[in-house]
Chain A
Amino acid sequence: MTRPSDRIFGLVVILAALAYIASALQVQASFLSDPVGPKAFPIAVGIVAILCAVTMIARPDAEPEWPALRSTLAIGIAIVVLVIYAYALKPLGFLIPTAVVAAILSYQISPSPKVSVLSGIGLSIGLFVLFRFVLGLSLFGFPRGWF
């Protein structure tokens, strides 16, 4: 099968849309007069999405250039790091996780240890000052109980 990307994505969309429609069918309705109801719109959206996906499968565009295995791996690492960051922000405070994550992302874009460490630390402190003191948002620099 040539040009598989659009087709694979189309299949994924169809499966997702079917799941979406299935869960829309489970939506509870109230007893009030509501001729359209809460299910019709999600189901219609699911159906249109399936039609679009079928079109994509039938007439796929030219194949995009997917990254090599190494780059895919790098993006995968970046995703994992960002997910960990999401969980770490609260217990560890702002400064440390931000410095570490910024440094890792920086290293991934341009592998220079010096630049990435410096930009990690600089960004973390600079942004903390910007958000905490200039914009007055409630951020905590360090884990609770350190100070």
Chain B
Amino acid sequence: MADLLANLSLGFGIALSPYTLLLAIIGCFIGTIVGALPGLGPANGVAIMIPITFSMGLDATGALILLTAIYYGAMYGGRISSILLNIPGDEPAMMTTLDGYPMAKAGRAGDALVISGFASFVGAFLATLGLAILAPALSRIAYEFGPAEYFALYLLAFCTLGGIASNNQAKAALASCLGIGIAMIGLDPNSGLPRMTGGNLHLYDGIDFLVAIVGLFAVSEVFFFIESKGKSGAAGIKLRGRVTVPWAEIWTTRWTMIRCSVVGFIAGVLPGAGASLGSFMTYMMEKSIAGEKGKFGTGVAKGIAAPEVGNNAAAGGALVPMLTLGVPGSGTTAVLLAVLVTLNITPGPTLFVERPDVVWSLIASLLIANFVLLAMNVPMVKVFVKVLEVPPAILMPGVTMVSFVGIYSLTGSYFDLLLVVLFGVLGYVLRKLDIPTVPVILGILLGSKMEKQLRDAMVLSDGDWTYLFSSTISSVLIVAAIVGFILPIFLRGRIRKPQRVSD
């Protein structure tokens, strides 16, 4: 403990100055905007800022503070458009649409933003503490996860999908098949040969999940607005009263926040999992703990807190393998890793010993960024909710254009824009038919990873399927996946029947 305090004071000694505070504030602000804009995720946000940090001539500490502030800021910001517009600002925020948007539709957009902002703070704060205290010990976890274990983890995610949003399990399964099917497009990593591309070179890199998110959520939303002539959605809804902090409601989520911080952090520490899986697993976990009475999906505080705690805790957790092993756990940490390398800092097992100045100033700057974000976000909620007072006729074209330009400016490809429109049409049809769109994104994100890990496991075992059960971790995960898939089918049958009689 004394060590920790000494190290932290070393870190704050380097990282805390009026100049770095200013950098943190700028970074948090830019990060929040980048996170909130659909089509620009945290990874892009950090990548965009790299040339700027170089041209500003920042030293290692300054660059790290700016970029980590952007990283955490983007993780905070993703929720804003999820709640206000039903369009996730980035992929880990997609679970926040499930309860955040219904709450906003009920006129409580301010409450939803405050609860989620507070949840983001708790998740990120606990994860940063976890990083500071446990990182060297936790780095050994990565050595326990091979292809079989990762495959079991992804299997667990897909098997619990059934209960996600739709009442019809077949539709959720169909949606994840769609996503996995899309994920197969591109160069096959295990043979280096193209698959399902139809010979189109544009498809060799696969389909970016940002393209899918923007199409499925943002463009399809525009179609709904056109259909209803601007009468659907939360936009234009009268806000109920002034923005206050719903302390009582936040207090009811205290155990949710603690549980989800732990689960999200672990998901982040595992290099193959990441923030999206973190927010997904925490949401599904809390939903099953709360049960039918929990009313998840209708706009409840726990349903907003769980995924936001989860994805922010995972964002902090993802720094553990990145710093201690040099293994990036997500797209964003991959970019941060590249930055560290260009700053002549090589993350790896010796980093904590050889460069304590870097490590602890990084941790200090994460804590600074986190407090800046909390201080910025609660007052800023008043500004954010004003978005809903913008007439849909201006807001929705704006969102569309932002999404298109975000994608276009990153890839410079008209082909991706065509895909966005295509996904928009698909999203419109799926949503009309009450087929959930979240599993599609999850399938695109994790489908190819799941396939790759299974194939790698079979390469290592020479086709012996019992290899999947060769470790305790993978056996437990696979059993949990099977139970998670079958149990809802039984429970649903039991719960439904008496209800039908009383109908």
**Is B229 on the interface with A (CB-CB < 8 A)?**
yes
On chain A, the residues within 8 Å of B414 by CB distance are 86-87, 89-90
Q: How far is the CA of A46 from the CA of B180 in the complex (A)?
A: 10
Q: Is the CB of A34 within 8 A of B459?
A: yes
**Is A115 on the interface with B (CB-CB < 8 A)?**
yes
Q: Is the CB of B177 within 8 A of A45?
A: yes
Query: How far, in Å, is A116 (CB) from chain B's closest CB?
Result: 7
Which residues from 108 to 143 on chain A have a C-beta closer than 8 Å to any C-beta of chain B?
108-112, 115-116, 119-120, 122-124, 127, 131, 134-139
Q: Which of B177, B394, B428 contacts A119 (CB 8 A)?
A: B394
Which residues from 363 to 415 on chain B have a C-beta closer than 8 Å to any C-beta of chain A?
391-394, 396-398, 400-402, 404-406, 408-410, 412, 414
On chain B, the residues within 8 Å of A106 by CB distance are 393-394, 396-397
Q: In the complex, which residue of chain B has the Cβ closest to the Cβ of A90?
A: B414
On chain A, the residues within 8 Å of B420 by CB distance are 82, 86
On chain B, the residues within 8 Å of A110 by CB distance are 229-230, 391-393
On chain B, the residues within 8 Å of A139 by CB distance are 405, 409
Which residues from 15 to 72 on chain A have a C-beta closer than 8 Å to any C-beta of chain B?
20, 23-24, 27-30, 32-38, 41-42, 45-46, 48-49, 51-53, 55-56, 59, 61, 64, 66-67, 71
Q: In the complex, which residue of chain B has the Cβ closest to the Cβ of A82?
A: B421
On chain A, the residues within 8 Å of B180 by CB distance are 41, 45
On chain A, the residues within 8 Å of B412 by CB distance are 138
On chain B, the residues within 8 Å of A1 by CB distance are none
Q: Which of B189-197, B272-280, B310-318, B321-329 lies at the interface?
A: B189-197
Q: Is the CB of A61 within 8 A of B168?
A: yes
A56 with B174, Cβ < 8 A, contacts A34-B459, A38-B195, A87-B414 known: yes
A27 with B408, Cβ < 8 A, contacts A9-B429, A135-B48 known: no
Residues of A in contact with B, size category: 35 or more
Best-buried of A87, A107, A137 by chain B (most CB within 10 Å):
A137
Q: Is the CB of A64 within 8 A of B401?
A: no
Q: Is the CB of B417 within 8 A of A85?
A: yes
Q: Is the CB of B227 within 8 A of A28?
A: no
On chain A, the residues within 8 Å of B219 by CB distance are 82
Q: In the complex, which residue of chain A has the Cβ closest to the Cβ of B48?
A: A135
Query: How far, in Å, is A64 (CB) from chain B's closest CB?
Result: 5
Q: Is the CB of B391 within 8 A of A115?
A: yes
A55 with B170, Cβ < 8 A, contacts A71-B227, A106-B393, A109-B230 known: yes
Q: Is the CB of B397 within 8 A of A120?
A: yes
**Is B462 on the interface with A (CB-CB < 8 A)?**
yes
Q: Is the CB of A102 within 8 A of B178?
A: no
Best-buried of B404, B429, B447, B454 by chain A (most CB within 10 Å):
B404
Q: Which of B226, B397, B405, B410 contacts A75 (CB 8 A)?
A: B226
**Is B171 on the interface with A (CB-CB < 8 A)?**
yes
A102 with B171, Cβ < 8 A, contacts A20-B196, A64-B432, A137-B409 known: no
Q: How far is the CA of A71 from the CA of B223 in the complex (A)?
A: 9
Q: Which of A32, A33, A42, A112 contacts B196 (CB 8 A)?
A: A42
On chain A, the residues within 8 Å of B40 by CB distance are 135
Q: Which residues of A contact B (CB under 8 A)?
A: 5-6, 9, 13, 20, 23-24, 27-30, 32-38, 41-42, 45-46, 48-49, 51-53, 55-56, 59, 61, 64, 66-67, 71, 74-75, 78-79, 82-83, 85-87, 89-90, 94, 98, 101-103, 105-112, 115-116, 119-120, 122-124, 127, 131, 134-139
15 A-B pairs with CB atoms under 8 Å apart are: A24-B184, A27-B195, A33-B462, A36-B455, A42-B196, A45-B177, A49-B174, A52-B173, A52-B177, A83-B421, A86-B414, A87-B414, A106-B393, A106-B396, A139-B409
